[in-house]
Chains A and B, each alone.
Chain A
Amino acid sequence: KQEVTQIPAALSVPEGENLVLNCSFTDSAIYNLQWFRQDPGKGLTSLLLIQSSQREQTSGRLNASLDKSSGRSTLYIAASQPGDSATYLCAVPNNAGNMLTFGGGTRLMVKP
């Protein structure tokens, strides 16, 4: 059974810092990996989706990398801003492609 773990569980940084969020998964036979953002009381918004054949994806100040063989992904946020404060979740689909397994999330607070 796929297990997804995120470290750290919570993170507080001053505005402007570059930061890295970590995601690990136990079964490396994945189709893709997604990073989501969740604001309090809101649903999930997809940030980046990395296909298994890709090593990284970039969107603005966000860069996600994927190392399938080691079962790891990182989300890099450059020049963090207070508006980046949210919970960040990574997720992978199962072999049948009909469900996502999520990590527990990293709760990020960026202080002005």
Chain B
Amino acid sequence: GAGVSQSPRYKVAKRGQDVALRCDPISGHVSLFWYQQALGQGPEFLTYFQNEAQLDKSGLPSDRFFAERPEGSVSTLKIQRTQQEDSAVYLCASSSRRTLASQETQYFGPGTRLLVL
């Protein structure tokens, strides 16, 4: 079946512009995660959804970042008033389990590469 898809794959934004990044998880997966990956570094956790509930948003760097998953499937990560330090790859992952304390892995999308000029 189809894996996790993300759109757009690339986004160039002018500083101050708002952007919206979309994630389509694997069908039926209850858990959805967003990560931010700066150049040359490992991914860092942003937020976690279980179905439509956002259970952890401790990794969101500022109140300019907002994520939603209104129907428990597709998720959108929105960044308001983008700044240059927001330039990164934004990765989405999904899992069929409610916890990562299991043998079930997360399945990652290809990411959206955001460049803020």
Q: Which of A11-19, A74-82, A89-97 participates in binding chain B?
A: A89-97
Count of CB-CB pairs between chains A and B under 8 Å: 75
**A71 at the binding interface (Cβ < 8 Å):** no
Chain B residues near A44: list those with CB within 8 A: 43, 91, 93, 108
- Beta-carbon contact of A96 and B91 below 8 Å: no
Q: Are A102 and B100 in contact (CB under 8 A)?
A: no
B74 at the interface (CB under 8 A from A): no
Sort chain A's interface into a size bin: 20 to 34
B-side contacts of A41, CB under 8 Å: 110-111, 113
Taken together as a complex, chains A and B put the C-alpha atoms of A98 and B3 apart, in Å, by 20
Contact A97–B33 (Cβ < 8 Å):
no
Determine whether the beta carbon of B42 is less than 8 Å from that of A104.
Answer: yes
Residues from chain A with a CB closer than 8 A to the CB of B59 are: 99
- Asked if B45 and A100 sit within 8 Å, CB to CB, the answer is yes
| B62 contacts chain A at the CB level, 8 A cutoff | no
A32 to B100, CA, bound (A): 9
A105 CB contacts on chain B under 8 angstroms: 41-42
Give the interface size class of chain B. 20 to 34
B105: chain A residues within 8 A (beta carbon): 34, 46, 49
A102 x B43 contact (CB < 8 A): yes
Q: Is the CB of B48 within 8 A of A98?
A: yes
A101 at the interface (CB under 8 A from B): yes
Inter-chain contact A98/B42, CB cutoff 8 Å: no
Checking A32, A43, A49, A99 against B91 with a beta-carbon cut-off of 8 angstroms, the contacting residue is: A43
B56 within 8 A of partner (CB): yes
Per-residue B-contact encoding for A5-46, CB less than 8 Å = 1, 0 else? 010000000000000000000000001101010000111111
A-B interface, 7 closest residue pairs, ranked by CB to CB distance from nearest: A102-B42, A97-B99, A43-B108, A93-B100, A97-B101, A31-B101, A99-B45
Chain B residues in the interface with A (C-beta under 8 A): 4, 31, 33, 35, 40-45, 48, 50, 55-56, 59, 91, 93, 99-103, 105-111, 113
